[in-house]
Amino acid sequence: MSARTLPLLFLNLGGEMLYILDQRLRAQSIPGEKARKDEWTDVDRKRVMNDIIATMFNKRFMEELFKPQDLYSKKALRTVYDRLAHASIMRLNQASMDKLYDLMTMAFKYQVLLCPRPRDILLVTFNHLDAIKDFISNSPGILNQVDETFRQLIETYNCLSDGEFQLIRQTLLIFFQDMHIRVSIFLKDKVQNSNGRFALPISGPVPWGTEVPGLIRIFNHKGVEVKRAEFTTAGNYVTPQREGSFELYGDRVLKLGTNMYSVTRPVETHVSGSSKNLASQAKENRVPNPLAKEELNFLARLLGGLDIQKPAGGETGFRLNLFTTDEEEEHAAQTRPEELSYKVINIEATQEPGRRAELSRILGELEVAEPRPGSAEKGEDLLALMDGL
């Protein structure tokens, strides 16, 4: 397992989260002069995006994230994204948060699978950060935060060998290997099968620095080419015109990691398999993790670095629905297996060393949280200890 995988996983999943939220906020926004007090406007959308991005790229948070460390459990990372998604006035209930996380993970999994070479995972990350910079182009302070993370990425990863990037790619694929959520965009584009597994293409550009397959060269003991033989390939391969830029600015060439929601498309998800299968998977996940204390201490440090901006005064949070209708969202919450619902524990993660130490102690003593029926309520603080952390 690579100790340099966590920043790439976090930033790419965060980029996908921002793509989805931006698309849904735009779809549900009402012109300011016509909007009621409880309806979204474009001003609200920009505020939500600015607040989440500012929290996501907080300097202390990034410093903690970039420290070499093992990749932690899906549930530990999921808790961080729950907190990030609620870093502004927006509120998601549990069913919408589940759907959001499913879309994030399946999109990035597909991008990792399609990368022509392991090093291109860095170009995917740069594509996400380029798009994030477009979201906050009118906020110089937040833009500087993103640029600083860009420089950290360049300094940390540009010097790594191809073998180290291969280890990072393997670590990511191990993280995603049991996740097979069906997504309508992928199903309609026929890049995902009905069982949730991706169908990878056999044609397209070959990795930069390699040649199109179809030629065999034979050399003698002196290294001189003595014979050539050609063979027919099943795919239609092309040579890339140039390598993507690994600098702060430039043409990335690779399109993986760009915003696939920029064109209006539905973002439905369909859970692959029966509820019984999901319940059995949840039951397996409740087995105490022998590394639980270390994971929770990590989570305490990570969440302690997040500066969450709470609504001012009597301002209430706006609810965002990631489903087409409220009825679909309610149905998803009702049909969600009970084993996948969790007891929520509200914790104030402050920056005071004493309070953070106490948080770490509390988290370290917990192994498995008791499940509770139902979904999260509107405005509920989702800084939660998930079952089995």
The SS3 call for residue 303 is helix
pLDDT band at 24 (very low <50, low <70, confident <90, very high): confident
Is residue 125 domain-resident? Answer: yes
| Two tokens, residue 262 | 């920029």
The answer on pLDDT for 252 being more than 60 is yes
Is residue 276 domain-resident? Answer: no
Task: Specify the pLDDT at position 76.
Answer: 83
Task: Specify the pLDDT at position 266.
Answer: 52
The answer on pLDDT for 57 being more than 90 is yes
Question: If you count them, how many residues does the chain have?
Answer: 389
| Two tokens, residue 289 | 């993790």
Q: Please, where are the H alpha helices in 247-352? A: 275-285, 292-304, 326-334
The answer on pLDDT for 274 being more than 50 is no
Is residue 234 domain-resident? Answer: no
Task: Specify the pLDDT at position 134.
Answer: 94
pLDDT band at 131 (very low <50, low <70, confident <90, very high): very high
> Could you give the percent of the chain with pLDDT greater than 70?
64
The answer on pLDDT for 359 being more than 70 is no
| pLDDT average, residue stretch 251-280 | 66
Per the listing, tokens 């001003």 go with 43
| pLDDT average, residue stretch 23-31 | 79
Where is 263: in which H helix or E strand?
A: none
Task: Specify the pLDDT at position 376.
Answer: 34
Is residue 277 domain-resident? Answer: no
Task: Specify the pLDDT at position 221.
Answer: 94
Calculate the alpha carbon distances from 103 to 20, 167, 268, 288, 316 in Å: 8, 25, 9, 27, 27
Is residue 30 domain-resident? Answer: yes
Burial 143-168 (b: 16+ CB within 10 A, else e): bebbeebbeebeeebeebeeebbebb
Whole-number average pLDDT of the chain = 76
Euclidean distance between CA atoms 340 and 280, whole angstroms: 10
Is the pTM value of this prediction over 0.85?
no
The answer on pLDDT for 225 being more than 80 is yes
More confident residue, 47 or 340: 47
The domain of 195 spans 5-201+246-271+291-348
Task: Specify the pLDDT at position 288.
Answer: 46
Euclidean distance between CA atoms 181 and 245, whole angstroms: 32
Neighbours of 356 (CB within 10 A): 17
Please give the full DSSP string across 344-379, using - where no structure is assigned: -------S-HHHHHHHHHHHHH---PPP-SS-PPTT
Is residue 386 domain-resident? Answer: no
* pLDDT tens string 79-98: 889 888 888 888 888 888 88
Contact status, residue 238 vs residue 205, Cβ threshold 8 Å:
yes
Work out whether strand 182-183 and strand 269-270 pair parallel, antiparallel, or are unpaired.
antiparallel
Task: Specify the pLDDT at position 114.
Answer: 94
| pLDDT average, residue stretch 11-27 | 92
The answer on pLDDT for 69 being more than 50 is yes
More confident residue, 69 or 276: 69
Euclidean distance between CA atoms 380 and 299, whole angstroms: 20
The answer on pLDDT for 146 being more than 70 is yes
Q: Please, where are the H alpha helices in the chain? A: 6-28, 42-56, 59-65, 74-85, 94-114, 120-135, 140-157, 162-176, 184-188, 275-285, 292-304, 326-334, 353-365
Number of domains in the chain: 1
